[in-house]
Amino acid sequence: MADNELVAIIDFGSQYTQLIARRVREADVYCEIFTPDVRPDELRRRNLKGVILSGGPASVYEKGSPRCSKGIFDLPVPILGICYGLQVAGLLLGGGSVVPAREREYGPAELAVREPDPLFAGFPKRTKVWMSHGDKVVADRKSFRVLASTSNCAFAAVRHRERDFYGVQFHPEVHHTPLGARLLRNFLRKVCGCRGDWKMRSYIDHAVEEIRKTTEGWRVLCALSGGVDSSVVAALVHRAVGNRLICVFVDNGLLRKGEREQVRAVFQEQRHIRLRIVEASGRFLKALRGVGDPERKRKIIGHTFIDVFRDEARRLTRGIRFLAQGTLYPDVIESRSAFGGPSAKIKTHHNVGGLPEKLGFELIEPLRFLFKDEVRLMGRELGLPPGLVDRQPFPGPGLAVRLLGPVEPDRLRVLRDADEIVREEIERAGLHRRLWQYFAVLLPVSTVGVMGDGRTYDDVVAVRAVESVDGMTADWARLPYDLLAGISSRIVNEVKGVNRVTFDVSSKPPATIEWE
């Protein structure tokens, strides 16, 4: 994406760095996230329009705390420092010192705008902002103009008198700062002069051209799971290379009801993509027999998938040089984060992890600069059906991690039938678009019940439904009682072997979205 206008975000380890990027993209401006050791010359070679310095959990005075090159401030573009980013600038630019705040600020504060400035265009005199800091900048007024302040922070927003640098001590990227998106848009449009013309259609055109140029007539293999990411990759690569794309769908026996049929209908029958469906359910269930530990389940499923896919790929290797994978931008960011905080935890959920090296393929990752909501937007632009584009996240190990205890065919049947009812009823109620995930969990518990004139001793199903923006945190969804009653009634009456249904009212944290 080298020809796009670029705003560079330098990540100092903030839990909100990805959120900054999302807000920039929402303003139709292209951005990328860089580590603090990025060289100014690397940015200078790009069509750079501005730089944003993120927050971070460290104190600038801690040994080993992250710093960027002082040369970043010599780039001929405006720079915005957020919280820790402002504090780093205060030290590197001079004219400011960083001191412990008299009272640490974590939470809402009232910001008073002191001076008119393009950064605060359209702002009232007072507005709410979200603070999260223990240190603060004390600026030399000969070097900095004070644009805004709070009762505990006289330099809540500043502008350098000689350099094109702005700094804010609050977090404009979070929704707790109601006018934060406007501030960032002001910085992008009014300060940096960005056109705001980054659109998904142009991204698709560029990605198609890059894939064509990279593959140079070679065949491309794609591991298609039926999830949003792999489906969008398949549709995008097919647009670029046509019949040179071969998709492999592995039926591991742990899929939701109708998943295999949907994949065949969408990709083989409607889009005429070359699709190979590998029936491997027996192989997976045999490997999982008697295993109840969730981590062992995940490892067994991951290793078995690699073995199955590798066996199939070897039958197809003639003329195949590339493997297409649905890596997203958050995975790229997390895999290279160096300064702690939530963003430093690396996800290892990709089913095809390690395959390029094992099979000698070169990797194509056309979604590696996109967030999940952007991938869904791309899917719509590519004409994928709403039922596929809007489907909820589904774990790589499938139903195995929603079936607590050993994975057995009969218990999988119970869970699959119950899960279908949960999905049908929530979608019929029109609530599926506002929920992040909704599914059934089969517990390793049997309880006494009464059906007709007899007593039963059957399984318990838990229903899980959560609301979230990005899956990092989640709140349990307040589903209507009538909807829950309908779900419970259908499961107990239609799924043989279940006599009790519960509803999970746990948020993340402290719980996780999945049960295993």
Q: What's the full length of the chain, in residues?
A: 516
Q: How far is CA 364 from the centre of its chain?
A: 19
> Distances from the Cα of 293 to the Cαs of 30, 179, 254, 399, in angstroms?
43, 47, 16, 14
Q: Which residues pair with 137 in a beta bridge?
A: 98
Q: Which amino acid, residue 17?
A: T
CA dihedral 228, 232, 234, 237 (to 10 degrees): -160
Q: Helix, strand, coil proportions of the chain in percent (round to 5)?
A: 35, 25, 35
Residue 48's closest CA among 58, 60, 38, 63? 38
Catalytic residue among 133, 160, 171, 350: 171
Residue 83 annotated in active site: yes
Q: How far is CA 253 from the centre of its chain?
A: 27
The encoded tokens of residue 160 equal 């350098």
46 contacts 23 by C-beta, under 8 angstroms: no
CB neighbour class for 461 (10 Å; exposed up to 12, middle 13-18, buried from 19):
buried
Q: Which amino acid, residue 237?
A: V
At 23 the three-state DSSP class reads helix
- Give Rg (Cα) of the chain: 26
Residue 173 annotated in active site: yes
Q: Rounded distance, CA 208 to CA 221, Å?
A: 16
273 contacts 238 by C-beta, under 8 angstroms: yes
Catalytic residue among 32, 173, 312, 425: 173
Residue 171 annotated in active site: yes
Give me the residue label for tokens 């809540």. 156
DSSP code at position 461 = E
Q: Rounded distance, CA 141 to CA 381, Å?
A: 50
Catalytic residue among 5, 31, 32, 83: 83
Would you please indicate which residues are annotated as catalytic (active-site) residues?
Answer: 83, 171, 173
